[in-house]
């Protein structure tokens, strides 16, 4: 006689098939409540997505505190907290809310401008202008960030993005005013010239490292200054200097060498964005699917193992710095042919150095570089609007950017702050090996 176990309801205490698993519905699928439970459980784990979102949130909270302690109105309100506590809290809330809403409206869209455009059918250019400016700023960051990321993934620390950007812009500029052709021929030549110019600047530290063992960090940093002062010299000599000018200003790119606008002449977003997206897609395929990309990754993880397998480490070093320089050179081309149309001393601003931060923020992956570029560009363009609307200094935006990078680059700190559960291998690798 077989007895049923009182606790399991099965003969002899043997659990029936499927016991211990989530209960299933009539169609064999787990009920919706189980799916939500699993989803909420994932939100409490220290996976890469959750850690990144919480890192950005934490940086924005710290940024809000900095806004409060640097606001005269807030400090005065808290000086009267004993007599008017409500005023102190209200002033603090409105100051932070106005600052971040101004940043959002200056980088994404203004709800009032969109509402006006919908109700009247006019003003669409003004409504889309913030997101257009963000995409314009993000385009060179995507290209330069991906170039730097490929070097980092291969174990080559390319700190010369600023010089490579100028090299690509100079080559594009020269082809722009020396070649006379229709836009269908002229523009592709300008794009190719930008990649070649950046690759040439990248070749110099590559060959020096491969043949002499010179450290690429030192060489690329020094090369930034060499290319910068070369630009200053060329802008005061023919054929680069603009005719009739005594200042260091270049000739202007002709219309046939300019990237066309995507959303009409009133918005500056241009075909450089398409070039950047195609480059990111191509880089993703190259690093994951191609034989040379596999070689890059193997040498980046373990050069000795690659050398033992017969891979030419010196050749790969030269190739990766040339490829990295080519992508950064395209960033110079995109800025020149898309929005600037001429060069002056100090060209490129801090794009080359911001690209290093974007590459690290994006964990050297194309999707991460894409999202990191959008985040940085939104903060740059939104910060200008925040300064104009609220009077808060633009430098505070740079501080918030630094805070975001710091928090994202320290996942163990974020995990401990929010007491997240360890989700497993991906975050453990990230904490132990870093973002490179």
pLDDT in tens, the chain (436 residues): 444 444 444 444 444 444 444 455 555 555 655 566 666 666 666 677 788 888 889 999 999 999 999 889 999 999 888 888 889 999 999 999 999 999 999 999 999 999 989 999 888 999 999 999 999 999 999 999 999 999 999 999 999 999 999 999 999 999 999 999 999 999 999 999 999 999 999 999 999 999 999 999 999 999 999 999 999 999 999 899 998 888 899 999 999 999 999 998 889 999 999 999 999 999 999 999 999 999 999 998 888 888 888 899 999 999 999 999 999 999 999 999 999 999 999 898 889 999 998 998 888 999 999 999 999 999 999 999 998 998 888 888 888 888 888 888 788 888 888 888 776 555 555 544 544 4
Phi, psi of 261 (to 5 degrees): -70, 150
Q: Domain range for residue 268?
A: 136-374
Is 403 inside a domain boundary? no
Is 244 inside a domain boundary? yes
Is 220 inside a domain boundary? yes
Which residue from 396, 387, 377 is spatially nearest to 339, judged by alpha carbons? 377
Query: How far is the C-alpha of 101 from the C-alpha of 98, rounded, in Å?
Result: 5
Is 300 inside a domain boundary? yes
> Number of folded domains in the chain?
1
8-state DSSP, 365: -
Coil, helix or strand for 54?
Answer: helix
Any residues with CB less than 8 A from the CB of 164 and at least 6 apart, and which? 147, 158, 198, 201, 202, 227, 324, 325, 328, 329, 332, 352
Is 97 inside a domain boundary? no
Alpha helices in 154-271 (DSSP H): 161-178, 183-212, 216-234
Residues 334, 138 contacting (CB under 8 angstroms): no
Is 409 inside a domain boundary? no
The continuous run of DSSP H or E covering 328 comes out as: helix 313-335
Is 271 inside a domain boundary? yes
Is 412 inside a domain boundary? no
């Amino acid at each position: 006689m077989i007895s049923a176990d009182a606790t399991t309801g099965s003969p002899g205490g043997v659990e029936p098939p499927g016991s211990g698993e989530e209960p299933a519905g009539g169609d064999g699928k787990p009920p919706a409540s189980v799916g939500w439970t699993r989803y909420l459980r994932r939100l409490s784990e220290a996976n890469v997505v959750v850690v990144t979102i919480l890192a950005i949130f934490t940086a924005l909270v710290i940024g809000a505190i900095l806004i409060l302690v640097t606001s005269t109105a807030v400090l005065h309100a808290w000086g009267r907290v004993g007599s008017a506590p409500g005023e102190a809290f209200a002033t603090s809330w409105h100051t932070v809310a106005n600052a971040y809403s101004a940043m959002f409206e200056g980088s994404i869209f203004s709800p009032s401008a969109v509402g006006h455009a919908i109700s009247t059918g006019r003003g669409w250019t003004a409504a889309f202008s913030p997101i257009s400016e963000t995409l314009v700023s993000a385009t060179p960051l995507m290209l330069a960030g991906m170039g730097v990321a490929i070097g980092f993934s291969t174990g080559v620390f390319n700190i010369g993005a600023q010089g490579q950007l100028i090299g690509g812009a100079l080559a594009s500029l020269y082809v722009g005013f020396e070649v006379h052709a229709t836009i269908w021929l002229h523009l592709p030549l300008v794009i190719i010239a930008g990649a070649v110019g950046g690759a040439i600047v990248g070749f110099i530290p590559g060959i020096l490292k491969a043949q002499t063992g010179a450290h690429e960090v030192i060489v690329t940093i020094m090369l930034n200054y060499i290319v910068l002062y070369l630009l200053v010299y060329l802008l005061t000599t023919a054929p680069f200097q603009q005719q009739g000018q005594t200042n260091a200003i270049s000739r202007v790119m002709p219309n046939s060498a300019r990237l066309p606008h995507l959303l009409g002449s009133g918005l500056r977003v241009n075909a450089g964005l398409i070039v950047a997206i195609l480059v990111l897609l191509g880089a993703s395929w190259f690093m994951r699917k191609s034989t040379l990309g596999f070689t890059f990754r193997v040498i980046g993880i373990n050069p000795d193992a690659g050398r033992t397998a017969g891979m030419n480490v010196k050749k790969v070093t030269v190739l990766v710095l040339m490829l990295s320089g080519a992508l950064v050179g395209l960033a110079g081309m995109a800025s020149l042919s898309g929005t600037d149309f001429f060069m002056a001393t100090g060209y490129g601003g801090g794009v080359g150095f911001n690209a290093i931060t974007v590459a690290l923020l994006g964990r050297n992956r194309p999707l991460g570089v894409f999202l990191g570029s959008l985040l940085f560009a939104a903060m740059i363009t939104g910060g200008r609007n925040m300064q104009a609307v609220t009077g808060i200094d633009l430098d505070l935006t740079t501080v918030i950017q630094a805070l975001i990078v710091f928090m994202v680059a320290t996942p163990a700190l974020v995990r401990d702050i929010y007491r997240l559960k360890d989700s497993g291998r991906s975050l453990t690798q990230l904490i132990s090996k870093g973002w490179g």
